[in-house]
Amino acid sequence: MTTPSAFIFPGQGSQKVGMLADAYAAFTAVRDTFEEASTALGYDLWDLVQNGEQEALNMTATTQPVLLTSSVALWRAWLEQGGAQPAVMAGHSLGEFSALVCAQSLGFADAVQLVRQRGEFMQTAVPVGEGAMAAIIGLDDAAIVATCAEVVASGAGEVAAVNFNSPGQVVIAGHTAAVDAAIAALKEAGAKRAMPLPVSAPFHTSLMKPAGERLAQAMAGLSIAAPTIPVIHNVHAEAEQDPERIRELLVQQIYSPVQWTACVASIVSRGITEMVECGPGKVLSGLNRRIDKSLNSHSLEDPEALQATKLALTGQK
């Protein structure tokens, strides 16, 4: 018997030069997936991951296909090694696309090209320097939402809570001046920390609506199927089966807050406590600990971690 699990897929911020080298050496599925992505993109993605500059890897239009490919590669390695299908999936922002590929809702070659475009659309929606993001630690969600509304009302520009990552950890984004004003106001309101993030665009805000319109056009002819495994969506923390509804949610997601805390709560409500982070890094595992201490987090990042996860889910810890 295998314990029911949820597979969760990371978004931007989990990438680093040299990642997945051991998995690439060990698993045919990882090598084949990167080769497939390179063919779709027209450049050697694996060479970039291993030998490129971190700055190049952090460019949004590069980061998105890199992380999607990494997650799909580890998912395929998991299946190649006889890993069991999870009961449910979810992904943080970009990770939602990874989840939908692994649930057979989106084709991989289509998705890797689509997320490269998504990255370009997001990066160019707001001129560099005019948008910003910041992490707010140690203040409740309602206080952050209210403070952002006050800053907007003051005429400083647009700013809103955009990533509800865990209780006490929320990301805000908007016009640079408005984010700066919100940081000052939130510190005054009692935030333990309020830190600007090293990104150049205000993701998941209303300022991303032009990117959403372009993404809708890019997805117009894209084939989407009903997922074979339920995927919890960022916009409303629910699973959907209707392909056209999934198409709408992927567009809305680009300018809507990421409801990650609610997504994890939705998974927990299904009686699941085993969470497998299917991608590089352990960002989501860290958030899990803050959201619900009953959750057990697992990784597939390297061969040893994958084997340990298999054993844990079959009760052979």
Q: In Å, how far are 23, 54, 58, 277, 280 from 17, measured between CA atoms? A: 14, 6, 10, 19, 11
Report, as an integer, the average pLDDT of 111-127.
94
Residues 89 and 163 in one domain: no
**CB-based burial of residue 155 (10 Å sphere; 0-12 exposed, 13-18 middle, 19+ buried)?**
exposed
Residues 194 and 228 in one domain: no
Q: Whole domain around residue 183: which residue ranges?
A: 131-200
The confidence band for 2, taking pLDDT boundaries of 50, 70 and 90, is: confident
Can you give the CATH number for the domain in which 79 is found? 3.40.366.10
User: Are both 121 and 232 inside the same structural domain?
Assistant: yes
What is the domain count for the chain?
A: 2
Per-residue pLDDT for 128 more than 90? no
Mean pLDDT (the chain, rounded): 95
Domain shared by 121 and 159, yes or no:
no
Q: Is residue 9 classed as helix, strand or coil in its secondary structure?
A: strand
Give the chain's end-to-end CA distance (angstroms, integer).
14
Q: Is 166 a catalytic site residue?
A: no
Catalytic residue among 38, 71, 98, 204: 204
Contact call for residues 103 and 228 (beta carbons, < 8 A):
yes
Residue 163's CATH number? 3.30.70.250
Rg of the chain on CA atoms, in Å: 19
Instruction: Verify whether residue 294 is a known catalytic residue.
Output: no
Domain boundary among 159, 184, 200: 200
- pTM of this prediction? 0.95
Average pLDDT of the residues in 131-149? 96
Give the lowest-confidence range in 122-126, 209-213, 240-244: 122-126
Are residues 234 and 258 in contact, defined by beta-carbon separation less than 8 angstroms? yes
| pLDDT tens digits, one per residue of 245-259 | 999 999 999 999 999
Q: How does pLDDT run across 290-312, given as a tens digit for each residue? A: 999 999 999 999 999 999 999 99
What's the pLDDT band for 165 if we cut at 50, 70, 90?
Answer: very high
Picking from 150, 177, 200, the residue at the C-terminal end of a domain is: 200
Q: Whole-angstrom Cα distance, residue 310 to residue 314?
A: 6
Is the predicted pLDDT of residue 199 greater than 80, yes or no?
no
Instruction: Verify that 169 and 84 share a domain, yes or no.
Output: no
Q: Are residues 238 and 288 in the same domain?
A: yes
Catalytic residue among 14, 70, 71, 93: 93
44-55 pLDDT per residue, tens: 999 999 999 988
Residue type present at position 54: Q
Query: Residue 201: what pLDDT?
Result: 84
